[in-house]
Chain A
Amino acid sequence: MITLSLLDLSLAALLVVALALSSLRIYPKIAMQLAVAALRTAIQLTLIGLVLKVLFANSHLLWVALLSLFMLAVAGREVMARQHRRFSGWWGYGIGALSMFISSFSVALFALLVVIGNQPWYEPQYAIPLLGMLLGNTMNGIALALDRLTSAASEQRDVIEARLMLGHGRDEAIADIRQQVFRTGLIPIINAMAAAGIVSLPGMMTGQILAGAPPVEAVKYQILIMFLIAGGAGFGTLAAMHFGVKRLFDKRLRLRLDRLAR
Chain B
Amino acid sequence: MLIVENLSCAVLEGVSFRLDDGELVALSGASGSGKTRLLRAIADLDLNRGEVRLDGVLREEIDPRSWRRRVACLPAESRWWAERVGEHFRDPEGVPFDRLGLDPAIPGWRVDRLSSGERQRLAILRLLENRPRVLLLDEPTANLDPRSTERVETLVREYLDSDAASCLWVTHAADQIARIASRRLQLAGGVLLEEAA
Binding site for B on A (CB under 8 A): 158-159, 161-169, 176, 252-255, 258
Scoring A166, A168, A253, A258 by chain B CB atoms within 10 A of each residue's CB, the highest score goes to: A166
Measured CA separation A159–B127 after assembly (Å):
15
A162 to B77, CA, bound (A): 9
A165 touches B45 (CB 8 A): yes
Selected A-B contacts with CB under 8 Å, 18 pairs: A158-B77, A158-B79, A162-B78, A162-B81, A163-B79, A164-B68, A165-B45, A165-B68, A165-B73, A165-B75, A166-B69, A167-B66, A167-B68, A167-B69, A167-B72, A253-B44, A254-B44, A254-B46
- Docked complex Cα distance between A255 and B46 (Å): 8
B130 at the interface (CB under 8 A from A): yes
Taking the closest CB of chain A, its distance from the CB of B35, in whole angstroms, is: 16
Determine the distance from Cα of A255 to Cα of B79 in the docked complex, in whole angstroms: 16
Please, how many angstroms separate the alpha-carbon atoms of A162 and B60 in the complex?
21
In the assembled complex, the Cα of A166 lies from the Cα of B73 at a distance in Å of 8
Q: Is the CB of B130 within 8 A of A167?
A: yes
Option from B43, B47, B60, B77 in Cβ contact (under 8 Å) with A165: B43
Interface size class of B (residues with CB under 8 A): 20 to 34
Chain B 62-76 interface mask (CB, 8 Å, partner A; 1/0): 001110110011110
- Cα-based distance from A3 to B47 in the complex (angstroms): 64
Distance, CA A163 to CA B127, complexed state (A)? 10
Q: What's the nearest-Cβ distance from chain B to residue A10, in Å? A: 56
Assembled-state Cα–Cα distance A169/B78 (Å):
18
Whether the Cβ atoms of B127 and A254 lie closer than 8 Å is no
* Contact of B65 with A168 in the complex, beta carbons under 8 Å: yes
Instruction: Determine whether the beta carbon of B78 is less than 8 Å from that of A165.
Output: no
Task: Tell me whether A252 and B65 are in contact in the complex, defined as CB-CB below 8 angstroms, given that A161-B45, A165-B45, A165-B75 are known contacts.
Answer: no
On whether the beta carbons of B81 and A176 are closer than 8 Å, the reply is yes
| Minimum CB–CB distance for B70 against chain A, Å | 8
Identify the closest chain A residue to B81 (Cβ). A159
> Is B126's CB within 8 Å of the partner chain A?
yes
Instruction: Name the residue among A163, A165, A253, A258 with the largest chain B CB count within 10 angstroms.
Output: A165
- Which B residues are within 8 Å of any A CB, using their own CB? 43-47, 60, 64-66, 68-69, 72-75, 77-81, 126-127, 130
What is the distance, in angstroms, from B176's C-beta to the closest C-beta of chain A?
23
Q: How far is the CA of A67 from the CA of B45 in the complex (A)?
A: 45
Identity of the chain B residue whose Cβ is nearest the Cβ of A172 in the assembled complex? B65
- In the assembled complex, which residues on chain B have CB atoms less than 8 Å from the CB atom of A254? 44-47, 64
Contact of B68 among A166, A255, A258 (CB under 8 A): A166
Contact among A169, A176, A258 with B65 in the assembled complex (CB-CB below 8 Å): A169
Residue of A nearest to B73 (CB): A165
Interface centre among B60, B69, B79, B130 (most CB of A within 10 A): B79
Residue of A162, A169, A255 with most chain B CB atoms under a 10 A cut-off: A162
Q: Known interface pairs A161-B45, A164-B45. Does A253 touch B72 (Cβ–Cβ under 8 Å)?
A: no
Q: A255 CA to B45 CA in the complex, in Å?
A: 7
Residues of chain A contacted by B69 (CB below 8 angstroms): 166-167
CB pair B65 A162 closer than 8 Å: no
A1 to chain B, nearest CB (A): 58
| Closest B residue, CB atoms, query A159 | B79
* Contact, CB under 8 Å: A162 / B64: no
Q: How far is the CB of A55 from chain B (nearest CB, A)?
A: 50
- Closest chain B residue, CB of each to CB of A256: B47
